[in-house]
């Protein structure tokens, strides 16, 4: 009996290890992706599209390719963020906290596309148990903010225990009330990395409001043109 | 400059022919480009001078061809047509027509391209290529567009946040010789929270050497300052520095405000320390506050202030991106100064307005 229990005990992961595995799954040498953001409200749907390049954990360039905001770019290198507006030919430099701003009025922030610091820098993690979500066995992790300057004081994450990718996230106020619910509807596996490619974000405080985040193409470790992650590459 | 203006409807035929020819010539490009059309239509009621009220319909159509599917070459052709019911004029202009291409060690641009040197949206002393519009800027427009000019330029990256740029601009008129060209360069570098830019431009048309230095600091506050001085050939350094010194500065902030709202604030100033502090010189302020909330809605408050004569123009408004590509905008412009001041409620010139109300829509497709 003891013989069988030892491997079970050894394989049990701490919440910190689960979050670390989740984040390492979402960090790539380089990546190139295209996608769409579809915002739905009571007046209908509005769609924008983007092209994104990333390198490592904290370097990214996102260019919006939809007609309404064509050419707008976000360059991020570590804590340096530059927003480029092509019509005004203006570059706005921001500090890291600006990553929390909403993208083009959606329920997503720049951090959702461009990545952000580790969750463990901002939250304490507690493993609440294991649950099945849509038939996928998940770890249920409660994240409680260490600081006040985060977007959500609490988050509950359901993380696929096999592929270490989030399946569902409830973002909560300090009282525990759910503000936003993020559900992954489709995944794609590329070279051992499981990537969410169809995400639905519902704002629970607004009726008929949601954002769909769709990844149309994803390349892992592509060759990225020189100058992509340079300031002069914005123009 | 670069505009064709027509009053007589009898001249419509050649214009329509030119448009048709242009579209036929451009047709082969469509397969490799993204075509973006933006139409802005406004209805404005304005109080001109003392007692004249004006109702004007105006429209702008911009067609933009962006090259796509090439990571190393980027080109854009942008044509704008404008019309206003008040004057009966309509105009066409080529706003942008450029190619940018990227080699491993440098990037180049050729054509009519936008370029923004220095720091600042409305007041920017560091923009040596184009004088900023300053208080002449129309605050009733939905967005502020950058200026473009014919140029040839090379940009050489030095590090992720540093580069040097060399440019040459042909004379403004074909009748001016090569000596009327402009040429210069700038070097941009950033380290930690500080970004520094130093620029130089020789303007052959006036035989003037223009210099500038700009700083942007992003620590507790996001702030910037630019200073420029112009030195006519053969002039005394100290005298020219004193008479031409222009300083612009600003600060801005973008923060979360309320539930899923974003608050943006900007304050800019333009100071000519040794100028004559009258209406035409001295000091001006520009302030902007916008609050974006609930998917596509924004409240806007902009304004110019002239501290010298204690006058201001205040522009409150609202914009709403209601449907895909469709935005409704309404703005009010209100001059608060006494007659004779920079931003008077009753301007002395009948060409100026002390009050106007604009409502309009823009459609992008």
Res B359: pLDDT: 95
Residue B103 scores a pLDDT above 70: yes
Q: Which residues of chain A have pLDDT under 70?
A: 1-11, 95-117, 235
Distance from CA of B68 to the nearest CA of A (A): 10
Q: How far is it, in rounded angstroms, from Cα A203 to Cα B322?
A: 18
Give which of A138, A89, A94, A135 is closest to A114, Cα–Cα. A94
- Give A 109-148 residues with CB within 8 A of chain B: none
Highest mean pLDDT out of A204-208, B11-15, B20-24: A204-208
CA dihedral A62, A63, A66, A68 (to 10 degrees): 110
| A to B CB pairs, distance under 8 Å | 114
Work out the burial of residue B25: count CB atoms within 10 Å of its CB; fewer than 13 is exposed, 13-18 middle, 19 or more buried: exposed
- Give A 203-232 residues with CB within 8 A of chain B: 203, 205-206, 209, 225-227, 229-232
- B186 contacts chain A (CB < 8 A): no
Res B98: pLDDT: 93
Res B21: pLDDT: 53
- Convert the pLDDT of each residue in B286-305 to its tens digit: 999 999 887 688 999 999 99
- Convert the pLDDT of each residue in A35-69 to its tens digit: 999 988 888 888 889 999 988 888 888 888 888 88
pTM of this prediction?
A: 0.79
Span between the terminal Cα atoms of chain B, in Å: 28
Distance from CA of B147 to the nearest CA of A (A): 8
If one compares B348 and B247, the residue with the highest pLDDT of the two is B247
Give yes or no for a contact between B47 and B353, defined as CB atoms under 8 angstroms apart: yes
Res A124: pLDDT: 93
Res A116: pLDDT: 56
Q: Which chain A residues have a beta carbon less than 8 Å from that of B36?
A: 67, 70
Cα B221–Cα B222–Cα B225 angle in degrees, nearest 5 = 115
Q: Which chain A residues have a beta carbon less than 8 Å from that of B218?
A: 93-95
**Interchain CB distance below 8 Å, A203 and B260:** yes
- B79 contacts chain A (CB < 8 A): no
Q: Which chain B residues have a beta carbon less than 8 Å from that of A65?
A: 34
Q: How far is it, in rounded angstroms, from Cα B18 to Cα A235?
A: 31
ipTM of the complex: 0.71
Q: Which chain A residues have a beta carbon less than 8 Å from that of B145?
A: 87-88
**Interchain CB distance below 8 Å, B102 and A209:** no
Res B1: pLDDT: 36
Q: Name the CA radius of gyration of chain A, rounded.
A: 19
Res B8: pLDDT: 42
Res B108: pLDDT: 93
Distance from CA of A163 to the nearest CA of B (A): 31
Give yes or no for a contact between B147 and B131, defined as CB atoms under 8 angstroms apart: no
**Interchain CB distance below 8 Å, A105 and B292:** yes
């Amino acid at each position: 009996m003891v013989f069988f229990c030892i491997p079970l005990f050894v394989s049990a992961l701490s919440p910190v290890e689960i979050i670390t595995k989740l984040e390492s799954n979402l960090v790539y040498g380089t990546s190139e992706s295209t996608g769409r953001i579809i915002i739905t409200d009571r007046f209908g749907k509005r769609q924008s599209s983007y092209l994104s390049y990333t390198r490592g954990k904290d370097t990214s360039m996102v260019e919006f390719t939809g007609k309404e905001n064509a050419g707008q770019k976000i360059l991020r290198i570590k804590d340096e963020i530059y927003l480029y507006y092509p019509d005004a030919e203006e570059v706005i430099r921001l500090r890291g906290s600006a990553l929390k701003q909403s993208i083009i009025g959606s329920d997503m922030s720049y951090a959702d596309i461009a990545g952000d610091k580790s969750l463990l820098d901002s939250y304490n993690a507690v493993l609440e148990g294991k649950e099945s979500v849509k038939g996928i066995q998940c770890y249920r992790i409660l994240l409680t903010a260490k600081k006040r300057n985060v977007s959500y004081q609490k988050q509950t994450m359901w993380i696929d225990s096999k592929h270490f990718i989030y399946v569902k996230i409830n973002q909560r106020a300090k009282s525990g009330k759910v503000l936003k619910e993020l559900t992954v509807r489709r995944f794609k596996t590329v070279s051992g990395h499981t990537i969410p490619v169809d995400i639905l974000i519902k704002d629970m405080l607004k009726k008929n409001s949601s954002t769909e985040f769709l990844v149309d193409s994803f390349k892992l470790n592509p060759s990225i043109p020189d100058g992509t992650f340079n300031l002069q590459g914005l123009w | 400059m670069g505009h064709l203006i027509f009053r007589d409807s009898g001249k419509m035929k050649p214009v329509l022919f030119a448009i048709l020819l242009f579209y036929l010539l451009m047709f082969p490009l469509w397969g490799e480009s993204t075509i973006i059309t933006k139409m802005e239509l406004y209805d404005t009621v304005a109080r001109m001078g003392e007692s004249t009220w004006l109702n004007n319909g105006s429209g702008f159509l911009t067609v933009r061809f962006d090259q796509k599917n090439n990571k190393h070459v980027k080109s854009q052709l942008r044509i704008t047509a404008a019309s206003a019911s008040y004057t009966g004029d309509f105009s066409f202009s080529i706003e942008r027509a450029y190619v940018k291409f990227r080699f491993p060690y440098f990037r180049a641009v050729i054509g009519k391209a936008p370029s923004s040197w220095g720091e600042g949206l409305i007041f920017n002393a560091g923009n040596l290529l184009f004088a900023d519009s300053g208080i002449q800027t129309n605050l009733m427009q939905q967005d502020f567009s950058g200026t473009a000019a014919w140029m040839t330029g090379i940009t050489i990256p030095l590090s992720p946040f540093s580069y040097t740029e060399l440019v040459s601009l042909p004379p403004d008129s074909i009748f001016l010789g090569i000596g009327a060209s402009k040429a210069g360069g700038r070097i941009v570098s950033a380290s930690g929270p500080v970004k520094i830019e130093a620029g130089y431009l020789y303007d052959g048309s006036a035989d003037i050497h223009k210099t500038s230095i700009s700083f942007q600091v992003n620590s507790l506050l996001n702030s910037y300052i630019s200073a420029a001085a112009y030195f006519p050939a053969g002039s005394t350094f100290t005298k020219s520095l004193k008479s031409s010194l222009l300083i612009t500065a600003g600060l801005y902030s973008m923060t979360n405000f309320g539930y899923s709202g974003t608050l943006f604030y900007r304050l800019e100033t333009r100071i000519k320390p040794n100028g004559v502090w009258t209406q035409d010189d001295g000091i001006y302020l520009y302030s902007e506050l916008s609050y974006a909330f609930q998917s596509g809605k924004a409240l806007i408050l902009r304004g110019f202030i002239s501290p010298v004569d204690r006058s201001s123009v205040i522009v409150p408004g609202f914009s709403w991106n209601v449907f895909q590509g469709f935005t409704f905008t309404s703005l009010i412009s209100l001059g608060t100064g006494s007659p004779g001041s920079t931003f008077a409620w009753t301007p002395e010139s009948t060409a100026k307005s002390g009050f106007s109300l604009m409502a309009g829509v823009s459609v992008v497709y």
